[in-house]
A and B are shown apart, each in its own frame.
Chain A
Amino acid sequence: MKDALKNSEFSENQMLTQVGRRFFLRSAGLTAVTGAFILGACQDHDMEPDATVDLGSGDIGILNYAYALEQLEAAFYTQVIDMPYQGMTDMEKRFLTDIRDHEIIHREFFKAALGSAAIQGLEVNFSSVNFMDRASVLGTARVLEDTGVAAYNGAGKYIEDVQYLLVAGKIVSVEARHAAIIRNLLQPMTRYFAGDDIVDPMTGLDVAKEPAMILADAQPLIETRITANNLPK
C-alpha cells in the first residue's frame, strides 16, 4: 500500500478523484450501473484502488492466478444477468445464468482451497463494456472465455500437485464449453464455435498462453494491479 502511494505514476489528484468517485458510488448504491464495483466481501482488506496484489509463487501462485480470472468472469456475468441486454432470448438468459453460476462456483472453490493464501477480492473495471448491447456483452464474454481456456492450457505445466492439475483440467473444459456456446450465440451453427481463429486448423490445437501474456490482456478489465513476478516460469 505504501509502495502504491509512493508510485509516481499516480498523482495525488488522480488518487483523490478515484477515492472520491468510489465513495460517491458506494453511497449512492449505483456501483453496478457504472461498471466499476467491488467484488466479494472484503471486510478486513484494504481496498485502495491502487493497491498492488502479488499472486505468489508455486502452486499457490497458479491457483491465485486462476482465482483472479474466475473473479473477473464471475463479476462480469453477475452484471450481465443483473442488467440483461436488450432482446436477450430465453435461451441466452438460461445459458448466461448457468455460466454466471459456474464462474461463481469456480471463484468460491479457489477462495476456499487457497484459504489464508488467497489474494483479496479484486476490483474490476467494465467501463469498456456496454451491458445494454448484445454484441458488446457477448463479444466480451467470448474474449473472457477464450482467455480462460488459453490461461489454463498454458498454466497446467506449472502445477506440481497432481490434484490441482486435475482440478485445472476439470475447470478448463467447462470454460471451453462456455466459449463454444458463446461463440455459437454470436455465429449460430457455423465453424465459429471452434473457429480457425482459435483452433489451429493444421494441428487442431487450442490456444495456450503464458500467465504474463494473459494478465497483460486482462489487466484493462481489472482495476486492482496484479503482479505475477513470482509465478513459475
Chain B
Amino acid sequence: MNLFKIIDDLQQIDGEAIDRLEHASRRSFISNLGSLSKKAALAAAPVAVASMFNKATAQSAMAVEVLQFALTLEYLEAEFYTMGVNKAGLIPAETMDVFDQIRKHEVAHVKLLENALGLTPNQNKPNFNFNVMGLDPFNNYADFVFLAHAFEDLGVRAYKGQAGNLINDDAILQVALQIHSVEARHAAEVRHILSMMRNNPNIEPWITLAQGEPAPVYAGEDNTTHAGLDVMTVTSKSKEAVTEAFDEPLSKQAVLDIAKPFIVM
C-alpha cells in the first residue's frame, strides 16, 4: 500500500483530507506536530489514516475507478462465455446449462455496470483475444473449461481486492459483494466440472493452499493470517483446510497483469 499515493488521492477528491488527517492524528495521541506534513501523516499511520478513511466523504471518485475496473473483467467474461456458448459443438449438452447460466450472469453484470457508469452498450469494451498461452478455447473444450475456471477464480479475487476501496460507498459496496458471491458460485461449479473432466478429485470447489494454474491466479492463496490473526494458532485443522476456508484478494495491478495478454485494445 502506497500511503503517499492514497493521501494524494484523498486530497484530490477531498480538499480537506490533510486537515482531517491532522485532526485525526492529534486525537490519536500525537500532539504538537504543528503543520502536519505528509511525512508526519505517515508516522501517524495506521490509526490516523484508518480514522481518516472512515471520515473522508467524497469517495465516489474511487468508486468509479473500481466500477470501471470491474467492468473490464465483466466484458472479458461476458465475451468469453458468449463466444463459447455460441460455438457449435464446443460445449457438450451435459454442461451447456451451466455455462449458459454463467454467460447470462456475466452479460447482466456488464449491463449493470455500464448503467451505473452511464455508458452505452459496449462503449468501453476492449477487444479480446482468448487464444493465448497455447490455448484454443473455442475449438478445444478442455481449454475452454480451464480458462473459465481461471477467469472465475480471478474474478472472485479481483472484487475482493476492491472491497476496502468501497468502504465508504455502502450502496456500491453491497452491489459489488452481490456480484462477488455470484462469481464464487461460478468458480465452484466450473472447478467441479474441471475436476470431473480431468478425473482429479484434488481440484475441489474451493482453493487448497496456492494450488492451481495459471500460478499467478492462485499466488498468495496459501495465506493463513487474517485481520492480524494467524488462524493456524487457533485451530487444530490442517493448513490445507485453513487455506480453503479463506479466499484471498488480489490487487488491481496483479489482476490487470494477468488479464493483459487477453486484451488487444
Contacts and interface: CB of A to CB of B under 8 A. Distances in A.
Contacts, number: 202
A191 B101 contact: yes
A228 interface: no
Contacts of B18: none
Contact of B205 (A105, A106, A153, A177): A177
Interface size class of A (residues with CB under 8 A): 35 or more
B42 interface: no
Given A153-B181, A194-B186, A201-B108, A166 B227 contact: yes
Contacts of A184: 188-189, 192
A176 interface: yes
A173 B247 contact: yes
Contacts of A41: none
A199 B182 contact: yes
Interface string B151-183: 000001001100110010011011101111111
A161 B167 CA distance: 9
Interface of A is mostly: helix
A53 interface: no
A141 to B, nearest CB: 13
B105 interface: yes
A226 B50 CA distance: 31
A113 interface: yes
- Chain B interface helix/strand/loop/mixed: helix
Nearest to B106: A204
A201 B189 contact: no
Nearest to A157: B170
A101 B208 CA distance: 13
Contacts of B119: none
Interface in B199-217: 201, 204-206
Interface stretch (B60-68, B125-133, B236-244, B256-264): B236-244
A164 interface: yes
Contacts of A157: 170-171, 173-174
Residue among B53, B95, B108, B249 with the highest chain A CB neighbour number at 10 A: B108
Interface in A159-188: 159-167, 169-181, 184
B248 A170 contact: yes
A194 B22 CA distance: 48
Given A98-B204, A184-B189, A204 B179 contact: yes
A126 interface: no
B231 A204 contact: no
A201 B109 CA distance: 10
B185 interface: yes
B30 interface: no
Contact of B187 (A149, A166, A177, A191): A177
B5 interface: no
Interface of A: 91, 94-95, 98, 101-102, 104-106, 108-109, 111-113, 149, 152-154, 156-157, 159-167, 169-181, 184, 189-191, 193-195, 199-208
